Structure 1
Amino acid sequence: MEKNRELGSIVRRMAPADLGLYYPGGDQRCFWQGVLSHPAYRSALREIEEEGMRLSQESIPQVTYGLFALFERQGTRLEYERVYFERRRRMNTFALLSLLYPEREDYQIALHDILWAICDEFTWCLPAHVDASSSEKIRATIDLFSAETGFSLSEIRLLLGDMLPPLLRSRIADEVNERLFEPFLDHMHGWETATHNWAAVCAGSVGSAALLLMQDSERLTQILKRTESSMACYLEGFGADGACLEGLGYWNYGFGYFVYYADLLRKRSRGAIDWLREEKVSQIALFQQKCFLGGGAVANFSDSQPQAAVQTGLSHYLAGIYEVFESPPLSLSAGYREDHCSRWAPALRNLIWLDPGRTGKEWGAADYYLEDAQWLISRVASGHDRYGFAAKGGRNDEPHNHNDLGHFILYGAGEVWCSDLGSGEYTADYFGEGRYGYDCNGSQGHSVPVINGRGQSEGPDSEAIVLEVSIETEEDRLRLDLTKAYREPELLGLIRTMVWNKRGPQPELTVIDEYRFNRPPDSLLERIVTRIKPDIRVLDGEHAVVLRSGNGKSGLVIRYDEGRLTASVQARSYRDHYGKEALWYAIDFEPKQPEAFMTLAFEFRFI
């Protein structure tokens, strides 16, 4: 951004913080009447109304000390967070219903009560993000969710206007000032210089709340000076390829809040400050359309879910700015209930930014190499079916890092055959010393070798070196030197080559690993990760690993050299992001006679 920007002068000339920031001509009632009558909103409105019916029959859940203290006592988060997020769901639902049906007094009363209850919360932060040794330290902390809450309350206060009693409007302003603005201006926060989603979400929410609430231009200038700096730090976490190393879920989250802030700032500054004109920002915007493999399956490296939905409002907003941005198919739209964190900002914008004229279509065949991230992603269309392949190099010190250099994902005909397990249940240990003991984080839960019983190591020195990458009409190829990923003294070299052959009616994948040791290793496992139960059987006179879809209509065959390798299958489980036990299978190929120099090849064919 321009370093010599006259921020103070821009702030003094800002457009008013009013309904014109949200609706054409600032006509709120006309907009919501149009929503009620347009079929494009029908599904979303049904979900919101059903949630309203459910919540009307329940009381406001209480955030007790016992729930709050669980994280400190046993390191678990979900118990408190479920109640916390249910309160936000209640706020969002009755705020939207009050906008849709301003004549319904019952919706407004329910909204007033939950807003008052949220203002009563001891802290808006989550227990996992605070130092619980004193209330003073907690009140000085701004985390993702306290910042989001302040932004949400500020926006609801503006949009609901006189539907909120004067006392409630006054209290919201006081609480946001006390919990966000004062601690923000009082001292620096660690996330202000982060190069990942915390900078965008926290700074974007604080800056957005200030743009909506703050009347003092000098104080607003002080806040925006800091939030602008944080946004620059956030963008430093991206390479020129625009890849979000934290995965699509965190792209939706971090980049989403970056855009929400950028939109409000652009409008209030009358276009004088426009982050969306930045070249890097335009490349980040395109990440979404690059990481889908087919259907809802994505290249979910890092702490990301294997199946993803899109925020339609955000997507349509970006499509209106960037000509090359592809609107996603409506079948991938995230439902109102889908966000388990119940965030207000995307829920609102999925309605006010929805463009009924943009229907979108399934992303077609495409190949991408994201050079900075070292990700190769390919989609192949064959009739009505889609096939996808993704592989990565990179380093084992990335945001939400997994030890996964050389790992790959294989998708075809509606199934993910070779998987990335994604994110596990967030606990204290998950982000602590035990992180890589979790299968979803350590290399033992990825499709990479295990050498002498040990997997890859974490840290900046564990990096892949790209030896070759090519994308051609008939074949894609990625060749990686993975030697530095392992701390094995006997390992002199490990080269992995992945060849994605697109010539036939169905693509095929070949993975070739070349090993050099100073002496034969004690043990070596070539591991493939899948969520589909494998079967080792004889096909055409040779042993192979066969995976079949649930309906039996499609499958995958993994061919290997049975003269040199023994195949075995191990069922394992881990706790997924929502705290549920999730089953996965490790397909291991072990050399019958390890050698100092070995080349092992595996063929993956769809059936």
Structure 2
Amino acid sequence: MNRQELAGIVQEMKPAGLSLYYPQGDSAAFWRQALSSGVLQADISEIRAEAHRLDGEAIPELTYTLFSIFAQSGSRLEYERVYFERRRRLNTYVFLSLLEPENAAVLENLLDTLWAICGEYSWCLPAHLPAGHNAADINGYIDLFSSETGFTLSEISLLLGDRLPPLLRSRIRHEVERRLLRPFLENGPYHWETARHNWAAVCAGSIGGAALLSVDDPAMLTDILLKTENSMNYYLEGFGEDGACLEGLGYWNYGFGYFTYYSDLLRARSGGRLDWFKQEKVAQIARFQQKCFIGGSYVANFSDSVPRVHVHMGLSHYLAEACTDVERPPSALRAPYTEDHCSRFAPALRNLIWTRAGEEVEAWEASSCYLPDAAWMLSRHVSEAGSFGFAAKGGHNDEPHNHNDLGHFILSGWGEVYATDLGSGEYTADYFGAGRYRYDCNGSQGHSVPVIDGKYQEAGRGFSATVLHASAAAEKDELTLDLTQAYPVTGLQSLVRSLVWHKEERPLLELTDTYRYEGAPASWTERVVTWRRPKLLRLGSILLPGTAGSGVEVTYDPQVVQPEITAHVYPDHFGEDTLWHSLDFHVIQPGAEGRLAFTFQFL
């Protein structure tokens, strides 16, 4: 769309008001009903419990000492804990002010928190600012969290309206324009404007959303939306037609969530003339969430994704209404109010205003699918014995939030994971720097893939897998990958991995690696990654023990391989040391050719 066409639509846009959020724009009626609505009682109880925790607590300070830790050590957690605690405080007092409009003490806490956030040195995180930046240039930088903050304050100003003092509303508008809107128009282009991942959706979507709520000048709004729409096109280019988010389900929630929040406001203000949800590709992306769950709250957590995910019910219910074949999630998967450690306002608000009462869903139904653009196989199998999951992937080692994980697989059953993806580790400077693949969760040493001549897979688009066969069917799912190009091993002529998932009452996975080598490798190890402590049952059989079920029996040929069990520790996404085990099958006498076969049988 060119500027002239967009300008014509902007001129005819409906005013920004409470009708963007509530039926008939009636805020008071919505929150009165929410108090008696069974569907929101858990959320409201959690908000009140959080307010009780915060009562009497001073607004935590973002000190210079905290701010400078990242530059000194590369550690992010110290500053970010306080930054996100301030956002949690903001969210809690906003929601309680809407639920209890007569409560003057709550409103006073909200006003002080808003004032404090307006006065922050930067809304960006230190990890996202250039090293050695100048204070005079601080308003020239825009990151994920500065964008989110501007969007949040713009929404709060509209939602609370005249309950906020004129000075505070004026300051919010001034800070959003000074820190976001003017720099977006005058200082860009920013690197994320053409990103094909979550940054484009979150940054541009938040700025576009803030503009739709607060910019009165049609020319300025047109210029902002023109840039925002361009970034949304780039964001969607990061998806194949299969709708898979290569960054993982957590970043689908994040990026596609902000894409949706912006698109909803745009569609409403334009009277449906600008509607991203008319695109089939967008609807396909909306269906990604329901495909990822492989058992309970466990997901196929490839890339920087945590193993267990709870869903944003508001976003999920909105997508189920906006797109065909999007399933409502099981109610047990509702994300608690306090789960988001970043305390993002936009999804928390929409968990309240978009969640709909309806038929209770107890569990996802059985499902299998192959996503050809991502080269992911995802399977959720349900039998009389229980619920079981399998996932495996091909692709390449230059994906967003990349892990070196070609040929890697996950097995789950009875609400536990047996063959594991470690997921995302603690974010530090080194995690996104030269040391990224020394972290077990990122390098192939922390994935269920071979180790050849002591060498792991490497990062880069040239390190890739070729899909030779893929099929998802009622009785079995199959994925066959050529992994020859995944390794920097000169003598490797061919490596083909076959994974066959037999969906029996107690399912069975067959794993076969077939290789050819020029001469013979000095060593060859087949690695399985697990949180369980493996136990040798007998020669040729190892148990991955479970607590809910008997576990998974791994069988191997003791004439060909010898097992070794090793304990490891890695810092998880929240900085907690987490134990994992490698179950290594060392080939006893590697030759020029080899066929290495294993079975994983649920007992």
Structure 2-normalised TM-score?
Answer: 0.99
CA gap 1:478/1:172 in 2 versus in 1, 3 angstroms: same
Letter in structure 2 aligned against 1:69: S
1:547 aligns with 2:544: yes
Query: Which position in structure 1 is the counterpart of 2:396?
Result: 395
1:243 aligns with 2:244: yes
User: Are 1:71 and 1:127, in contact at CA under 8 Å, matched by a contact in 2?
Assistant: yes
1:521 aligns with 2:521: yes
Query: Which position in structure 1 is the counterpart of 2:106?
Result: 107
- Distance in 2, matches of 1:23 and 1:322, equals 21
1:576 aligned to which of 572, 577, 601: 572
Structure 1: where are the runs of 5+ without partners?
none
- Distance in 2, matches of 1:368 and 1:451, equals 31
Instruction: Give 1:359 deviation, angstroms.
Output: 2.7
Query: Which position in structure 1 is the counterpart of 2:142?
Result: 142
1:605 aligns with 2:596: no
- Distance in 2, matches of 1:591 and 1:426, equals 35
Q: Secondary structure at the match of 2:322?
A: coil
Letter in structure 1 aligned against 2:220: R
Corresponding pairs, count? 601
CA displacement, residues 523-577 of structure 1 (integer Å, 9 cap, x when unaligned): 1110000001111121xxx4311011235x3211000001111001000010000
Query: Which position in structure 1 is the counterpart of 2:180?
Result: 180
User: Are 2:445 and 2:451, in contact at CA under 8 Å, matched by a contact in 1?
Assistant: yes
Letter in structure 2 aligned against 1:451: I
Letter in structure 1 aligned against 2:455: R
Letter in structure 2 aligned against 1:74: S
1:18 aligns with 2:34: no
Q: Secondary structure at the match of 2:60?
A: coil
Instruction: Give 1:321 deviation, angstroms.
Output: 1.3
Structure 1 runs of 4+ off > 6 angstroms?
Answer: none
User: Are 1:173 and 1:213, in contact at CA under 8 Å, matched by a contact in 2?
Assistant: yes
- Distance in 2, matches of 1:467 and 1:557, equals 28
Instruction: Give 1:580 deviation, angstroms.
Output: 0.5
Structure 2: where are the runs of 5+ without partners?
none
Instruction: Give 1:416 deviation, angstroms.
Output: 0.5
- Distance in 1, matches of 2:2 and 2:182, equals 26
- Distance in 1, matches of 2:386 and 2:2, equals 49
Query: Which position in structure 1 is the counterpart of 2:76?
Result: 77
- Distance in 1, matches of 2:2 and 2:360, equals 40
- Distance in 1, matches of 2:303 and 2:382, equals 26
Instruction: Give 1:4 deviation, angstroms.
Output: 8.2
Q: Secondary structure at the match of 2:268?
A: helix
Instruction: Give 1:162 deviation, angstroms.
Output: 1.1
- Distance in 2, matches of 1:180 and 1:137, equals 13
Query: Which position in structure 2 is the counterpart of 1:28?
Result: 27
Query: Which position in structure 1 is the counterpart of 2:431?
Result: 430
Letter in structure 1 aligned against 2:532: I
Q: Secondary structure at the match of 1:572?
A: strand
Instruction: Give 1:473 deviation, angstroms.
Output: 1.9
Structure 1-normalised TM-score?
Answer: 0.98
Query: Which position in structure 2 is the counterpart of 1:415?
Result: 416
Q: Secondary structure at the match of 1:362?
A: coil
CA displacement, residues 449-507 of structure 1 (integer Å, 9 cap, x when unaligned): 001111001100011001111222211111000000001011001000001111x3111
**Counterparts in 2 of 1:277-316, with a 5 A limit?**
277-316=278-317
- Distance in 1, matches of 2:2 and 2:124, equals 33
Q: Secondary structure at the match of 1:368?
A: strand
**Counterparts in 2 of 1:404-553, with a 5 A limit?**
404-502=405-503, 504-538=504-538, 542-550=539-547, 553=549
1:156 aligns with 2:153: no
Letter in structure 2 aligned against 1:372: D
User: Are 2:257 and 2:315, in contact at CA under 8 Å, matched by a contact in 1?
Assistant: yes
**Counterparts in 2 of 1:252-263, with a 5 A limit?**
252-263=253-264
- Distance in 1, matches of 2:588 and 2:118, equals 65
Letter in structure 1 aligned against 2:552: L
**Counterparts in 2 of 1:166-245, with a 5 A limit?**
166-186=166-186, 187-245=188-246
Instruction: Give 1:69 deviation, angstroms.
Output: 0.6
Q: Secondary structure at the match of 1:264?
A: helix
Same amino acid, percent of matched pairs: 57
Instruction: Give 1:323 deviation, angstroms.
Output: 2.6
Letter in structure 1 aligned against 2:511: V
User: Are 2:283 and 2:324, in contact at CA under 8 Å, matched by a contact in 1?
Assistant: no
- Distance in 1, matches of 2:242 and 2:152, equals 32
Instruction: Give 1:5 deviation, angstroms.
Output: 7.4
User: Are 2:314 and 2:350, in contact at CA under 8 Å, matched by a contact in 1?
Assistant: yes
- Distance in 1, matches of 2:550 and 2:214, equals 56
Q: Secondary structure at the match of 2:338?
A: coil
- Distance in 1, matches of 2:384 and 2:336, equals 29
- Distance in 1, matches of 2:52 and 2:472, equals 52
Instruction: Give 1:384 deviation, angstroms.
Output: 6.2
2:554 aligned to which of 547, 558, 562: 558
User: Are 1:130 and 1:137, in contact at CA under 8 Å, matched by a contact in 2?
Assistant: no
Letter in structure 2 aligned against 1:219: M
CA displacement, residues 377-416 of structure 1 (integer Å, 9 cap, x when unaligned): 1111012611110000000000000000000000111110
Q: Secondary structure at the match of 2:390?
A: strand
**Counterparts in 2 of 1:367-378, with a 5 A limit?**
367-378=368-379
- Distance in 1, matches of 2:460 and 2:448, equals 19
Letter in structure 2 aligned against 1:515: Y
User: Are 2:385 and 2:506, in contact at CA under 8 Å, matched by a contact in 1?
Assistant: no
User: Are 1:327 and 1:361, in contact at CA under 8 Å, matched by a contact in 2?
Assistant: no
User: Are 2:151 and 2:209, in contact at CA under 8 Å, matched by a contact in 1?
Assistant: yes
